[in-house]
């Protein structure tokens, strides 16, 4: 579509012809005489839209079910083998196991928050009401990220309590005071919040639900793991820097199979920068293309 917003001119009074009598109208920035909504109003509008969509509650419920439910189920199934040392894994690798699947719902929520508006055409009404498109992007991110953070932390703690109960029965449970446990539980929320922001940016970039979901899931779950197959140490570093591996490091007490990952907070810093870069790219595309 067009690369820049349309700028039209109207005369300030009939018959006026001088440059001083011409008012320039830019629909993406400011229309004289029309008051633009403040950021607090935009934020409230996005909050209302987010919670009035039925898929939001279903997605958050699924996030909890997959995150806490699968962590508890896997710990129950593996506790005996972990205690016997048959798996070659540490029990610490299992207390946020459900994150492997709950991250899919974070990607879906972030994607749908944007692409559903493009699918229904509501994005045009949104941008008509809020011509300053940066406010729309920022408001969506500030609604989505805290919700996913809280949901991720609650899910991780419930999963820990459920899964650790079975580990404790075998004498291999983890205390909250153990190194990395609390960090991983709160890191679960940080990682899911970051994934939502990354998916939000991808939604603005791609604008199609199926394509954006495919790209997001492939980038996090598939490409990141395939990168480990690249030869040499550079392949290992490429894998470490992929969003799923870099961000996921903060949500794990210990990686599976002793996998090579960045230090938790270093990895999260890299991941946060990647998510922010995608969001900024989405904003740039939103500014330059018609809705």
Report domain extents, the chain: 1-35, 37-288
Higher pLDDT, 258 or 262: 262
Give pTM, 2 decimals: 0.85
By residue count, the chain amounts to 291
Q: What is the pLDDT of residue 90?
A: 87
Strand partners, 212: none
Which carries the bigger pLDDT value, residue 3 or residue 158? 158
CA distance 291 to 289: 6
Q: CB–CB of 259/180 below 8 Å?
A: no
Q: How confident is the model at residue 118 (pLDDT cuts 50, 70, 90)?
A: very high
For 174-193, write each residue's pLDDT tens digit. 999 999 999 999 999 999 99
Whether 224 contacts 242, CB under 8 Å: yes
């Amino acid at each position: 579509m067009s690369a820049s917003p349309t700028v039209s001119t109207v005369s300030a009074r009939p018959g006026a012809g001088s440059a001083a009598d011409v008012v320039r109208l830019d629909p993406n920035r400011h229309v004289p005489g029309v008051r633009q909504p403040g950021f607090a109003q935009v934020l409230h509008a996005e909050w209302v839209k987010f919670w009035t969509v039925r898929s939001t509650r279903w997605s958050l419920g699924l996030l909890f079910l997959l995150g806490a439910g699968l962590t508890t189920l896997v710990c129950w199934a593996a506790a005996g083998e972990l205690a016997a040392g048959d798996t070659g894994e540490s029990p610490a690798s299992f207390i946020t196991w459900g994150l492997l699947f709950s991250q899919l719902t974070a990607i879906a929520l972030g994607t749908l928050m944007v692409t559903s508006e493009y699918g229904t055409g509501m994005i045009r009404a949104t941008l008509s009401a809020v011509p300053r498109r940066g406010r729309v992007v920022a408001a969506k991110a500030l609604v989505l990220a805290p919700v996913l953070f809280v949901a991720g932390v609650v899910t991780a703690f419930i999963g820990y309590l459920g899964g650790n109960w079975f580990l404790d029965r075998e004498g291999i449970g983890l205390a909250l005071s153990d190194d990395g446990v609390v960090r991983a539980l709160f890191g679960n929320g940080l990682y899911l919040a970051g994934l939502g922001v990354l998916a939000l940016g991808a939604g603005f970039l791609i604008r199609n639900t199926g394509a954006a979901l495919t790209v997001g899931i492939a980038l996090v779950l598939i490409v990141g793991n395939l990168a480990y197959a690249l030869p040499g140490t550079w392949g290992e570093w490429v894998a470490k820097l992929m969003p799923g591996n870099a961000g996921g490091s903060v949500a794990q007490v210990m990686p599976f199979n002793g996998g090579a990952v960045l230090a938790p907070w270093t990895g999260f810093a890299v991941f946060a920068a990647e998510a922010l870069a995608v969001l900024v790219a989405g904003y740039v595309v939103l500014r330059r293309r018609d809705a």
